[in-house]
Amino acid sequence: MEIINSGDSLTVMLSGEIDHHALLSLRGTIDAQIEQHTPRLLALDFGGVSFMDSSGIGLILGRRRVAEGYGGKVMIKNASGYVLKLIKLAGLTPMLMKQEVNNLL
């Protein structure tokens, strides 16, 4: 995982497999960055994710709660194929960045 801070926004480049086990360490690292930078926009980039289950949805909802606590907004970036299928199931399509919304059409 790589985190890019560009002033107003924080981009989290997620990679590998996201499950309950991975979430245990991921969320602490991301939350510490949110608390430090209080971004207006937190982008969760799923481009490098090879597998995820509903823990990935828990990751999104949990980070949204933390970021909104600091007045920020959360968007989902580069969700395709399998990740997108789960996001649709969870009803989180309004959180997709434009490009992903287009992929749905």
Residues in contact with another protein by CB under 8 A are 17, 19-21, 23-24, 27, 51-55, 57-59, 61-62, 81-82, 86, 89-90
Nearer to another protein, 24 or 101 (CB): 24
Distance CA 68, CA 72 (A): 5
Residues of 48-58 as b/e, b for ≥16 C-beta within 10 angstroms?
ebeebeebbbe
Nearer to another protein, 51 or 70 (CB): 51
Measured from the CB of residue 14, what is the shortest distance to another protein in angstroms? 15
